[in-house]
């Protein structure tokens, strides 16, 4: 499909290739469209399918870019979520009522099962093989299963970011901007997984205390969700700073989270103080808060990492169950903790009233304001 923007003359144009349902992009076809776009002077080729990529500038296919033609890719779910955000009460609202009604009809079509818009709902064989190899300590750098596992992780990362976006009414960013192509990101993640035995995503959510980091540990089969909270630096003792944070966490169950739901999380929540001049871990379970107070009493705490650990056990290697449990864990952490805590902010400096000497009307002469020497400005 060719889309042109014209006002008497053609000002811009883009070539679109769209695949529905389980149909995926074909390398031969996309290469041909790139050449057509270059010959016609069209600067953009945009592909749309149910395939997920970390960024619109990444292509699901490992193909070379053509000079003077920019290649972009969007998942159908990405488009659906952008439409949903436009209809959410925020600063991106559509002003024209007719356009709002049109967008609602479009969204109704996209959300219908027959539209064929799907989510990423299962991991592949490569993920399972990678888990087994890491736990058996037999993984090597040339294992092809790692690439398959990483590809699944990146698709799920983007899908989850879109689900969070849809739920929050704003776009959640999970892009690692230092990577310009999908292949470059996969190679970097492959090296990271081989060295550390886990994969990591970072979700940047507007006004949240920090980016939300999510890790999938292949060796322990644990999902970890992590945020970092700044604690009051105007409180002198470590205990005072930690108790400030404890009060926030206990307040979570008084908001959108039931006490029963919060109690389930208690044993899974860990607190890891970031201490000035001290690198050793002081991490303790939230249930062992008194022990944390004792071990940190002589340290200067700057911030605290709050983490949730969910042991999936055998579910970590189950095709659909992993995705289900992974997403439930991340949504639960955000709902119970992330949206209910805040960073400490340094207050404005306090004025010393004794030293302050503001000029009052009574102190100003009704005849003149003396500037220097005997000179003045007459009123």
What is the mean predicted confidence (pLDDT) over 295-321?
A: 94
Residue 358: per-residue pLDDT:
60
At residue 72, the 3 state secondary structure works out as strand
Q: Return the beta strands (E) in 118-195 as ranges.
A: none
pLDDT above 50 for 368: no
53, 110, 55, 100: which is closest to 79 by C-alpha?
110
Cα dihedral across residues 172, 317, 337, 247: positive or negative: negative
CA 219 from chain center: how many Å?
Answer: 24
pLDDT above 80 for 266: no
202, 151, 153: which is closest to 174 by C-alpha?
202
Paired residues of 273 in beta bridges: 304
164, 153, 306, 142: which is closest to 216 by C-alpha?
153
**What does the chain come to in residues?**
379
**pLDDT-derived band at 242, boundaries 50, 70, 90:** very high
Give the model confidence (pLDDT) of 31-42 as tens digits. Answer: 999 999 999 888
Between CA 237 and CA 256 the distance in angstroms is 31
Give the model confidence (pLDDT) of 102-142 as tens digits. Answer: 888 888 888 877 777 888 889 999 999 999 999 999 998 88
Taking the CB of residue 368, how many other CB atoms lie within 10 A of it?
A: 12
Residue 258: per-residue pLDDT:
63
Contact 154, 54 (CB under 8 A): yes
pLDDT above 80 for 178: no
pLDDT above 80 for 180: no
The dihedral formed by the CA atoms of 104, 106, 112 and 117, expressed in degrees to the nearest 10? -130
pLDDT above 70 for 268: yes
Between CA 141 and CA 217 the distance in angstroms is 18
**pLDDT-derived band at 379, boundaries 50, 70, 90:** very low
**pLDDT-derived band at 357, boundaries 50, 70, 90:** low
CA 131 from chain center: how many Å?
Answer: 25
Residue 7: per-residue pLDDT:
60
DSSP annotation of 22: T
Residue 89: per-residue pLDDT:
64
Integer angstrom CA distances of residue 369 from 357, 358, 360, 379: 17, 15, 12, 8
Taking the CB of residue 345, how many other CB atoms lie within 10 A of it?
A: 8
pLDDT above 60 for 230: yes
Of 113-122, 156-165, 341-350, the range with the highest mean pLDDT is 156-165
Residue 376: per-residue pLDDT:
47
């Amino acid at each position: 499909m060719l889309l042109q923007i014209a006002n008497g003359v053609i000002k811009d144009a883009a070539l679109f290739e769209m695949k529905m349902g389980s149909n995926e992009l074909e390398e031969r076809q996309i290469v041909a469209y790139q050449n057509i776009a270059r010959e016609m002077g069209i600067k953009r080729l945009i592909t749309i399918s149910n395939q997920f990529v970390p960024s619109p500038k990444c292509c699901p296919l490992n193909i070379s870019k053509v000079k003077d033609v920019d290649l972009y890719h969007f998942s159908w779910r990405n488009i659906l979520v952008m439409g949903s955000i436009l209809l959410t009460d925020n600063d991106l609202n559509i002003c024209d009522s007719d356009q709002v009604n049109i967008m609602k009809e479009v969204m109704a079509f996209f959300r219908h099962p027959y539209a064929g818009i799907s989510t990423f709902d299962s991991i592949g064989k490569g993920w399972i093989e990678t888990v087994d190899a890491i736990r058996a300590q037999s993984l090597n750098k040339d294992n092809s299963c790692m690439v398959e596992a990483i590809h699944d992780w990146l698709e799920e990362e983007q899908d989850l970011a879109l689900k969070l976006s849809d739920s929050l009414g704003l776009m959640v960013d999970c892009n690692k901007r230092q990577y310009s192509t999908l292949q470059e990101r996969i190679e970097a993640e492959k090296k990271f997984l081989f060295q550390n035995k886990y994969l990591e995503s970072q979700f940047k959510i507007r006004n949240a205390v920090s980016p939300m980091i999510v890790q999938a540990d292949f060796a322990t089969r644990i999902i970890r969700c992590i945020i970092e909270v700044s604690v009051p630096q105007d409180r002198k003792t470590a205990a005072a700073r930690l108790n400030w944070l404890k009060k926030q966490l206990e307040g979570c169950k008084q908001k959108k989270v039931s006490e029963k739901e919060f109690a389930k999380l208690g044993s899974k929540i860990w607190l890891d103080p970031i201490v000035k001049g001290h690198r050793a871990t002081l991490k303790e379970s939230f249930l062992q808060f008194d022990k944390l107070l004792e071990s940190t009493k002589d340290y200067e705490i700057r911030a605290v990492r709050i983490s949730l650990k969910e042991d999936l056990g055998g579910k970590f290697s189950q095709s659909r169950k992993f995705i289900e449990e992974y997403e439930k864990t991340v949504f639960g952490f955000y709902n119970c903790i992330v949206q209910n805590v805040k960073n400490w902010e340094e207050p404005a400096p306090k004025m010393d009233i004794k030293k302050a000497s503001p000029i009052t009307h009574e102190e100003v002469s009704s005849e003149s304001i003396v500037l220097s020497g005997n000179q003045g400005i007459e009123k």
